[in-house]
Amino acid sequence: MRVSTMALICRRFAAKKRGTFTQSLSLFSSSFHDLSHNNNRPFSPTPRIDFSCIHGVDDAVFLFREMLRMRPQPCVVEFNKLLTSIVKMKKYSVTLNVFDEMRQSGASVDEYTLNIVINCYCLLNRVDFGFAILGSFFKRGYEPNIITFNTLIKGLFLDDKVIEAEKLFIKLLALGLCEPNEATILTMVNGLCKAGHTLTAYDLLRLLEKTSFKPDVQTYNTVINSLCKDRMVDDALQLLATMIDKGIAPNIVTYNSMLQGLCNFGRWKDVKDLIIEMADHKISLNVFTFNILVDALCKDGMVKEAKDVFEIMMQKNVPPNSVTCNAMIDGYSLVGQIDKARKLLDSMSGRGLKPSIINYGRLINGYCKNEKVDLLKD
């Protein structure tokens, strides 16, 4: 029902898209005009800030206070860079505090700043405050852009407000507030998948394929992965064929998701075919691919075959990692070859791998399963 609403609007919107594009071009040219105008202002140097000294959040806050004291004050771009550096450290509350201080001290704020702030609220699961900031866009005479809306859509999904996210997306399309881009589509599709609405995401993707919006490889990957996780492996295979048909090249992530799905159902013939297809597309297997194979073989009790894959990894110069070792340890334990599991764990240091608590845990688990707990005393 919801998707059919989207269908209607997508078609209508796709038909109008050319006009919108021209409009946005004219918007661009006006901002170029503004830029050149700014360049003609009397020369007044604003300090350039060196952000390379920031190694932690305290450095960032210290630098911020310095920036507030500077005369003339650094321009808003520098403040935005500073805020971004705090966001990158995932210190969203600190970013908001700094923003608050900026406002109180009258430092200048622009659309970029407001988008950064909305993003922080969204990441703190306070999309409601994000919408409040949207209000201050208008108050300050700024226009929210597609980044603003993408951020808010993501925020709604993070806050489990799936219906609201869909409504906002539909509003974007219907009212032509902003032209959705690939990020919008991925945000929608990813949000729907994460919320457990894989089929809605799938329908939306198939719908967008028919319009002038072109979902990218990441969007296909998200849906293929989600279909596999939801046991709809054949639909995922079909979608893989579709994307190739549409000229979107699958990448290693696409194939790894697909292989995981097939392995979960022991579809070894399909696994083999897919690996051949990967070779045809000149996509080499990476450590994820091999780990999926090793793990699946071990879980199916085919430890000998798993060990063969383990050897192939070394030949192919894709060294096994800690995850590979865990899979093998579990595999050996499953078939009662706990000594081989122990030997593998002992060999890890020689392979440049530091056995972790997880590796030991797996081995201990193996000993328990094999009722050899007394051997742990060694």
Partner DNA sequence: GTAGGGTTAG
Provide the binding-site residues for DNA, judged by CB under 7 A.
76-77, 80-81, 84, 87-88, 110-113, 115-116, 119, 145-148, 150-151, 154, 181-187, 190, 194, 216-219, 221-222, 225, 251-253, 256-257, 260, 286-289, 291-292, 295, 321-324, 326-327, 330, 356, 358-359
User: C-beta of 374: minimal distance to DNA in Å?
Assistant: 26
The phi, psi pair for 260, rounded to 5°, reads -60, -45
Cβ proximity to DNA, 282 vs 377, nearer residue? 282
Closest contact distance (angstroms) between CB of 375 and DNA is: 22
DSSP of 67-128, one letter per residue? HHH-SSPPPHHHHHHHHHHHHHTT-HHHHHHHHHHHHHTT----HHHHHHHHHHHHHTT-HH
Nearer to DNA, 4 or 171 (CB): 171
* Smallest separation (angstroms) from DNA to the CB of 112: 3
Sign of CA dihedral 326, 327, 332, 333: positive
Q: Which of 8/264 has CB closer to DNA?
A: 264
Query: How many whole angstroms separate alpha carbon 114 and alpha carbon 63?
Result: 20
CA atoms within 13 A on the CB side of 28: 6
Our CB check for DNA shows the closer of 8 and 101 to be 101
- What 8-state DSSP symbol labels residue 179? -
Short-list 240, 284, 292, CA closest to 267: 292
In this structure, are residues 83 and 60 in contact, taking their beta carbons and an 8 Å threshold? Answer: no
8 vs 147, beta carbon nearer DNA: 147
Tell the smallest beta-carbon distance from residue 194 to DNA (Å). 6
Query: Residue 358 CB, nearest distance to DNA (Å)?
Result: 5
Nearer Cβ to DNA, position 186 or 237?
Answer: 186
Q: How far is the CB of 57 from DNA (least distance, A)?
A: 15
> What dihedral do alpha carbons 173, 174, 179, 183 form, nearest 10°?
-20
If one counts every other C-beta atom within 10 angstroms of the C-beta of residue 19, the result is 10
C-beta of 1: minimal distance to DNA in Å? 25
CA angle 309/295/374 to nearest 5° reads: 105
Helices (H), 230-321: 233-245, 252-264, 268-280, 287-299, 303-315
Q: How far apart are CA 378 and CA 375, in angstroms?
A: 6
CB of 83 to DNA, least distance (A): 7
Nearer to DNA by C-beta: 61 or 255?
255
Q: Which is nearer to DNA, 8 or 287 (CB)?
A: 287
Angstrom distances, CA of residue 148 to CA of 4, 95, 179, 281, 303: 26, 17, 12, 37, 51
Q: How far is the CB of 133 from DNA (least distance, A)?
A: 12
Measured from the CB atom, the residue of 2 and 194 that comes closer to DNA is 194
